[in-house]
Chains A and B, each alone.
Chain A
Amino acid sequence: MSGLTLLIPIALGMGVFGLAVFFWAMKHGQFEDLDGAAQRILIEDEDDEAA
């Protein structure tokens, strides 16, 4: 029993943490452009001076 009082909150806490991260990611547009992220890795960063 005493183990459960520790383990269950930990399990729930991890679940809630994952959920919070997902909500954060959605709010900050991490899923807006899934294909773009895959493509952008191919762009060469030759022009830091242009940025």
Chain B
Amino acid sequence: MNAATAIAPESDVELVDSRFTVPGMRCAGCIAKIERGLGELPGVDAARVNFSAKRVAVRHDAQLDDEALVEALERLGFESQPVADNPLATDDKDAKLLLRALAVAGFGMMNIMLLSVSVWSGAGGVTREMFHWLSALIALPVVAYSGRPFVASAAMALRYGRTNMDVPISIGVLLATGMSFYETLTGGEHAYFDGAVMLLFFLLAGRALDATMRNRTRAGIGALLGRMGKSAAVLQDDGSTRRISADELFPGMVMLVAAGEALAADGEVIDGAGAIDNAMLTGESTPEPVMVGDTVHAGAVNLSAPLRIRITATKGDTALAEIARLMDEAGQSRSRYVRIADRASRLYAPAVHSLALLAFIGWMLAGAGWHQAMIIAISVLIITCPCAMGLAVPAAQVVASGALVKKGVLVKDGSALERLAEVDTVLFDKTGTLTLGEPRAEIGDLDAEARSVALGLAQNSRHPLSKGLVASLQAAGTAPAEVIGVHEESGQGLLGLWHGTPAALERAEAAGSGLATTLRIGDRREVIRFSDPLRADAGATVSALSALGLSSQILSGDRTQSVAPVARALGILGRGAVQPAEKLVALEALKRQGHLPLMVGDGLNDGPALAAAHASLAPASASDASQQAADAVFLGDRLGPVSLAVRVARETMRIVRQNFVFAIGYNILAVPLALAGMVTPMVAAIAMSLSSLVVVGNSLRLARAAR
């Protein structure tokens, strides 16, 4: 990181922008720390934090690479990941388009309503005609601009011979606008411009809510599957090494992997021994010891001494790529899920269209002129337009997801909430899901002195065991002792001086089963054991789930011997030694029996199962790919959010159904009026806003659902 020496004078430096997600920023202090810390880095021109998106944009010298910036953020105490060039741009653009359309519709609605109120209160003659013309002047451009999202979507649906909620909306709005324009031209009595624009406004409000919800939570999750090594140092015939990019590696080559480097291909260790961090693949951060003859996978990080590895599989053949492919295929079934609003519109749209047509034919037969019959048919279309229905689903889901975010559950979109409400079986992964997935030290036997020395040593290391020791000691309220000259010696441990006495955290010789380390202070030795404890409220969550009528079981890739005690402790079924593909098979079997499984898992080996399950949850400590595959991510050390998410999702669907009842009930009341030809623009406007207000008000009750 000697970027400082490489910096050329300001004038001829090429500046580039990079973005990083920094999920760990929580407060104003973090913003200041990141912006100042990065700003002081040589080669950085400016750093700007976007707190809502948990992202930082850095403008810097092109010679300063992403890795250097990630490391700088690491030193500031934040984990980060580079973001590819604005991957959310398209979603963002959608949301912005909807917001603009909403603003224009709002402007049009207010001004047209102003004019309409005067017409309703009795303006006549020239004044009425002028007001109608003014309304037309405002409404035509507004409908043309704000109606685009609906007309475009309706046209798309019709082109493929399907129908969706947008088809009746578009037909209703366009017909109402056209008819009103005709009325204006001929000096007629009623113009429905206000109704048409108001309809657009309420519907756009629903759409905009839906889009904002998607963006907000995606920003919290948006990390990328990018940890696989991009290149490897390959040993040449003459004994020298050459860096080759991952695409050009072939089985049979021998790569030299330095400490801290990520593997770019699968292979077999042929020289060296040490430990690797396999968190990418398994979500388990406990280092895994490797020695000659062991198989290692792409994406793993070498933690200790350099390893020589003979490549056995590259690119698309690696275990990592295989899992990515499984996930891709498994995700297909979920994209076929039909959301509740679309299911409703499948029944609703044909009914409304036939009703309007029947009204037209009926009045023609009854002897009314085609003009009057047409007006009545259009007023049927307007009054039945699913205005409150357009708000019924997104309003409830946005309020619910807002309440869940406050409790640390980030739901990706509305469809996820709908599917979460339907699940009836829960499958848990063990390590990292039911357990914390991080080693925690058992420090009960240590006295105060040993604890503080251990903390003084351990806080200097990023080794997973050291981090677990620090977490345990800090939780016990230990203050670190002043240990000087701490250094990490590969294969030995951490060494330092405490008040002139040599102190060390060393590899435990006779550890027996499980992980352990030896604390040495002078001649004194203490063995500190580590375990991976169950999340504190795992038992309570399982019983909360069964109270909701959900049965739980464990489906773990871990050994059966270590799954059994956990399953016994929780009183649920447990299966161990399950491969990723077998998890898929188990899920398919459940689905065939008519169950709708919820998968809760964290490792990349859970990825395919997360993508295939009816709904899925992942803890925030999960591998990136799993977070991508899951419907929702929950933060913190507790498992409680799992039952909370299911409970709130069900509550949400209850409110959504109530909203539908309101919206349809209002239609049942209003349609006879419309059929009888008694709906004036004023009646339509009042009915429309009242039903929308009721639906929004009812949805707001969900704000308390997560309590």
The chain A residues found within 8 Å of chain B, CB to CB, are: 1, 4, 8, 11-12, 15-16, 18-19, 22-23, 26, 32-36, 39-44, 47, 50-51
Contact = CB atoms under 8 A, between A and B. Distances in A.
Contacts of A47: 36
Contact of B51 (A8, A15, A16, A39): A39
A41 B271 CA distance: 56
Contacts of B501: none
A35 B49 CA distance: 11
Contact of A32 (B31, B50, B100): B50
A42 B103 contact: no
B560 interface: no
Contacts of B53: 32-33
Nearest to B123: A4
A36 B50 contact: yes
A19 B29 CA distance: 35
Contact of A33 (B28, B51, B114): B51
A51 B27 CA distance: 21
Given A36-B31, A36-B49, A26 B100 contact: yes
A40 B27 CA distance: 9
A22 B103 contact: yes
26 contacts: A1-B127, A11-B114, A15-B107, A15-B110, A23-B100, A26-B100, A32-B50, A32-B52, A32-B53, A33-B49, A33-B50, A34-B52, A35-B52, A36-B31, A36-B50, A36-B52, A39-B27, A39-B28, A40-B28, A40-B51, A41-B28, A43-B29, A43-B32, A47-B36, A50-B39, A50-B40
B103 A36 contact: no
Contacts of B49: 33, 36
Interface of B: 27-29, 31-32, 36, 39-40, 49-53, 96, 99-100, 103-104, 107, 110-111, 114, 127, 134, 138
A35 B110 contact: no
- Chain B residues touching A, majority SS: helix
Nearest to B127: A1
Nearest to A29: B50
Contacts of B107: 15-16, 18-19
A12 B96 CA distance: 24
A-B pairs, 9 with minimum CB distance: A36-B51, A42-B28, A39-B28, A43-B32, A33-B50, A35-B52, A19-B107, A35-B51, A33-B52
Given A11-B111, A35-B51, 16 more contacts: A8-B134, A12-B111, A15-B110, A16-B107, A19-B103, A26-B99, A32-B53, A33-B50, A35-B52, A36-B31, A36-B49, A36-B52, A39-B51, A41-B28, A50-B36, A50-B39
A39 B35 CA distance: 13
B149 to A, nearest CB: 16
Nearest to B99: A26
Contacts of B28: 39-43
B55 to A, nearest CB: 9
Nearest to B53: A33
B134 A23 contact: no
Contacts of B103: 19, 22-23
A9 B114 CA distance: 13
Contacts of B36: 47, 50
Contacts of A4: 127
Contacts of A36: 31, 49-52
Contacts of B32: 43-44
A5 B103 CA distance: 26
B465 to A, nearest CB: 35
A47 B134 CA distance: 56
Nearest to B106: A19
Nearest to A5: B130
Interface-central residue, A12, A41, A44, by most chain B CB under 10 Å: A12
Contacts of B110: 15
Contacts of A33: 49-53
Contacts of B104: 19
A41 B51 CA distance: 13
Nearest to A32: B50
Nearest to A42: B28
A20 B454 CA distance: 62
Nearest to B103: A22
